[in-house]
Amino acid sequence: MQGKTVLIGQGPLAPEDVVAVARYGARVELGEDSLAAMAASRSVIDALIDDPVPHYGVSTGFGALATKHIPVEERTHLQRSLIRSHAASSGAEVDREVVRGLMLGRLSTMATGRTGVRPVVAQTYAEMLNAGITPVVGEYGSLGCSGDLAPLSHVALALMGEGSVRNNDGALLPAAEALAAAGIAPVELREKEGLALINGTDGMLGMLVLASADLHRLLRTADLAAAMSVEGLLGTDSVFAEDLHALRPHPGQVASAANIRRVLAGSRLIGEHASEERTAHRFTRVQDAYSLRCAPQVHGAARATLAHVESVAAIELGSAVDNPVVTVDGRVESNGNFHGAPVGYALDFLAIAVADVASMSERRTDRFLDKSRNHGLNPFLAHDPGVDSGHMIAQYTQAGIVSELKRLAVPASVDSIPSSAMQEDHVSMGWAAGLKLRKALDGLARVLAVELLTAARALDERDGGLDSSESSDAIRAARVVIRVVVAGPGTDRYLAPEIEAVRLLVEAGSLLEAVDAALGDPLL
């Protein structure tokens, strides 16, 4: 995607464009219409410079200081002071892709022509993105109301040639040095521009779009993991029948059931086990446990949550979030569109779904390790139980992560700490919701990796390994990929690198690629 160019200002940003720019370094370009729209709205601001009537952000202070009139000769200093004072983040450095997503979102709002900035400001933003210059932003500083103030201020500070950035190679540099090396002139901000650069929900929105892209992959992976567990535990595939799910046709549930049904198709382990039970008149299990039987219902509910969240993101990606704004008919109006509640709620909603999908995955893993429930496998899948512990502690790792995910599912958006002398007396905490969702997604990937690793080991023990595999074609394809990076069952080995190796497969989508190739059509 590095060779891709995303055109800004020709309509709403597409989620895939956000991912391309933020994560993969795609270039950006401002359309001619957007440059003209910015020039037109700037003329409205210029006309207000000598107006004796106060205009917020043009001739006044900010926040609780909005009643302070600022003389013309002090207004450049006003904008510079705003950015310096608001660039007050602290804590660990946030990921490069988060900052690039934030920059892209602010550039998109500027390109609407509703903020009153000069075209040169947006053009310089675009040049910074294309040069790979990424301002350093700490994890604390945004309350998600009046936008992501501190994070956006660090970007604006770099635009001015101040503060710290990382270049395209990841080296830490003074902003002035990085700009000079890229041939970019710093910008001296004029009336309204400082405020226009920091009054948006761009950081939380970027995290929402990136999280949505990741969750699409992880939910398909969760379906694969569930199918491998059903096969490894000799479950039944009858509960995934299309007509059963048509009785409760939630789209996400239908899609998840279809995925599991397709992945299991042709499994001799399931078919032969069911046939043996019928022949011997053994009906020891009329139903599988919920963590197997109800996987489509839970994974489907997560898909429904994701669909709702993406509808919120689509609206936000096409919005002009600033305060005040220059309206289409030329008014300069204060508003509350910078409030992050819509995005904050969506981020928190996803965190709940992520925690529940991971919780179900951990329960399936645990069934493999309990001899009373794993249908003939060794305790903990140990090679020599007692001497070996097998995957006993891998499940502990899963359990620890799932417990953390439950804490991360507690909504950030229900909290609010008043700020700015009670002028900003209700805030969204959407930035915090975004950061905790990113951590939750990392946890889900790790939990699924343990389930996949465990299911692959159980299946090897069940059918003797890939040379005599009785798995479905799709599951065999996934097992082959896992066995490239992790050896088959045997005496206890150093387990952490094996978990990490499968996690990397999950993150890269390698298992899904193999399964899609085996099926001929990708999972839904």
Cα–Cα distance for residue pair 200/202, rounded to 1 Å: 5
Given a cut of 80, whether residue 421 has pLDDT beyond it is no
Cα–Cα distance for residue pair 371/367, rounded to 1 Å: 8
pLDDT, tens digit (0-9, with 9 covering 90-100), for 336-394? 888 999 999 999 999 999 999 999 999 999 999 999 999 999 999 999 999 999 999 99
Element (H, E) at 140: strand 138-140
Q: Which of 24, 56, 290, 396 is catalytic?
A: 56
426: pLDDT confidence band, cut at 50, 70 and 90? confident
CB 147 within 8 A of CB 64: no
Q: Please report the pLDDT score of residue 86 as a whole number.
A: 94
Q: Which residue has the higher pLDDT, 447 or 277?
A: 447
Distance of CA 23 to the CA centre of its chain: 11
Cα–Cα distance for residue pair 476/515, rounded to 1 Å: 9
Q: Which residue has the higher pLDDT, 173 or 273?
A: 173
Q: Please report the pLDDT score of residue 166 as a whole number.
A: 98
Mean pLDDT of the chain: 93
Average pLDDT over residues 467-491: 96
Q: Please report the pLDDT score of residue 276 as a whole number.
A: 62
Least confident of 104-113, 153-162, 271-280: 271-280
The domains located in the chain, with CATH, are 5-200 (1.10.275.10), 208-519 (1.20.200.10)
CB 216 within 8 A of CB 174: no
Q: Please report the pLDDT score of residue 72 as a whole number.
A: 78
Question: What sign has the CA pseudo-torsion 321, 41, 335, 190?
Answer: positive
Q: Please report the pLDDT score of residue 281 as a whole number.
A: 43
Residue 406: which of 352, 445, 348 has the closest Cα? 352
Q: Please report the pLDDT score of residue 250 as a whole number.
A: 98
Least confident of 90-94, 282-286, 345-349: 282-286
Residue 56: active-site member: yes
Distance of CA 112 to the CA centre of its chain: 25
Given a cut of 80, whether residue 285 has pLDDT beyond it is no
Residue 123: which of 35, 222, 9 has the closest Cα? 35
pLDDT, tens digit (0-9, with 9 covering 90-100), for 163-211? 999 999 999 999 999 999 999 999 999 999 999 999 999 999 999 999 9
Long-range contacts for 284-293 (Cβ within 8 Å, ≥24 apart)? 287/239, 288/230, 288/233, 288/235, 288/236, 288/239, 289/363, 289/367, 289/373, 290/363, 291/229, 291/360, 291/363, 291/364, 291/367, 292/226, 292/229, 292/230, 292/233, 292/235, 292/364, 292/367, 293/235, 293/239
283: pLDDT confidence band, cut at 50, 70 and 90? very low
Cα–Cα distance for residue pair 263/472, rounded to 1 Å: 7
CB atoms within 10 A of CB 163: 21
Cα–Cα distance for residue pair 426/492, rounded to 1 Å: 54
Given a cut of 80, whether residue 287 has pLDDT beyond it is yes
Q: Which residue has the higher pLDDT, 44 or 424?
A: 44
Q: What SS3 class is residue 207?
A: helix
Q: Please report the pLDDT score of residue 282 as a whole number.
A: 45
Given a cut of 90, whether residue 506 has pLDDT beyond it is yes
Strand partners, 164: 174
Average pLDDT over residues 469-474: 96
What is the pTM (predicted TM-score) of this model?
A: 0.94
Q: Which residues contact 111 (CB under 8 A, 6 or more apart)?
A: 8, 9, 30, 31, 34, 37, 38, 122
Cα–Cα distance for residue pair 282/270, rounded to 1 Å: 15
Cα–Cα distance for residue pair 271/376, rounded to 1 Å: 17
Q: Which residues contact 386 (CB under 8 A, 6 or more apart)?
A: none
Average pLDDT over residues 409-415: 94
